[in-house]
Amino acid sequence: MDNSDRTVDFGFEKVAWGDKAGRVRSVFASVAGNYDVMNDLMSFGVHRLWKQFTLSLTGLRSGQCGLDVAGGTGDLSLGLLRQVGKSGRVVLSDVNPAMLKIGRDRLLDKGLVGNIECIVADAERLPFADNSFNCVTIGFGLRNVTDKAAALASMYRVLKPGGQLLVLEFSTPVAPGLKPIYDAYSFKVLPLLGRLVAQDADSYRYLAESIRMHPNQETLLEMLRVAGFSHTRYHNLTGGIVAVHRGYKT
């Protein structure tokens, strides 16, 4: 398809289809050095529990293979490594070299170098063979992808039959009374934290906006089905602020 005349959301702004990826890379290059600290501050540390829950669903066993797409600083990759053991294999991929370098350095600091690869890769065009991985995870990355359908199809392709995709992502609050509180926090507190801690309010304003533009729970569930996944479902966490979507390749 010719995308030359198409536009796509970049937060609340509409940009040319071909420009979003570069602008997202700029955002994450800017925030990379403070990414982990800001995650702890923004979520009061709860992001660690969201990731632990996601990892509890992988079903990975010793000797198997896992892929962490848009894995950034490597939190999910570390968990996948523990699950597959020394006889297994994990690939940490991210389209942003600055984020990937931080993830690779964290793994090196922990002495985890033998069975993990760190690869710069676009989620829409994963450079792996068909039927390569038992589980694919993507944590807080899908909303930044230009063509989400292409990314889901790419992740489906590299999964082995019977393999599972887990999408951990911000979603739409469902708990009564939560949305106005969450909105006030997102658009007032997050940019302020970004300015004070990372000297970058604009990037954190974009992150808040990108969450609002991301498909809600039911819409993303249907996108997984269209991509070919079966046994699809999702789990709301923290009142729907975050959701884990999952599906299998049959």
Which amino acid, 194?
G
> Distance of CA 127 to CAs 92, 96, 117, 130, 198, Å?
12, 15, 13, 10, 33
Q: How far apart are the first and last CA of the chain?
A: 28
pLDDT, tens digit, 9 for 90 and up, residues 192-234: 988 998 889 999 999 899 999 999 999 999 999 999 999 999 9
pLDDT tier, 1 (very low <50, low <70, confident <90, very high otherwise)? low
Q: For residue 185, give every residue at least 6 positions away whose Cβ sits within 8 Å of its Cβ, in sequence order, or none.
A: none
Task: Kindly report the pTM of this predicted structure.
Answer: 0.94
Quote the CA–CA distance of 231 and 211 in Å, as a whole number.
25
What CATH topology corresponds to 7-174+206-248? Answer: Rossmann fold (3.40.50)
The domain ranges of the chain are 7-174+206-248
Cross-strand pairs, 221:
none
- Cβ–Cβ < 8 Å for 246, 165: yes
Mean pLDDT of 78-91: 95
